[in-house]
Amino acid sequence: MSEYVQTWRKKIRIKILHDIAQRELKSGQEPFQVYEKLEKEMKNRWNLVLCTRKQYLEEINRSLNQSIFGK
């Protein structure tokens, strides 16, 4: 049962970060600035470790590429 909770939390966190990234990119921020902001958010909000932050950034990058190029 706890696996479902962890998966649910991960999906919500990625959705929040994805929304932040899209908003920042639309406002004209450079990608490296957006990733820096996402790093800060992950550290401050959830105190995520480096390997988890990297996994989240990879998933966000994939989903942003799909939303931009997949349409």
pLDDT digits 0-9 by tens, 3-13? 788 899 999 99
SS3 of 40, please? helix
Mean pLDDT along residues 39-44: 95
Evaluate if residue 16 carries a pLDDT over 80.
Answer: yes
Sorted by where each begins, the domain ranges of the chain are: 2-69
- The percent of residues in the chain predicted with pLDDT above 90, rounded, is 75
Task: Show the tokens assigned to 46.
Answer: 């959830």
Task: Show the tokens assigned to 29.
Answer: 């921020």
Residue 17: predicted pLDDT: 96
Question: Residue 61: which of 18, 23, 13, 9 has the closest Cα?
Answer: 18
Question: At how many degrees (to 10) do helices 31-41 and 2-26 cross?
Answer: 140
Mean pLDDT along residues 46-54: 93
Q: How confident is the model at residue 66 (pLDDT cuts 50, 70, 90)?
A: confident
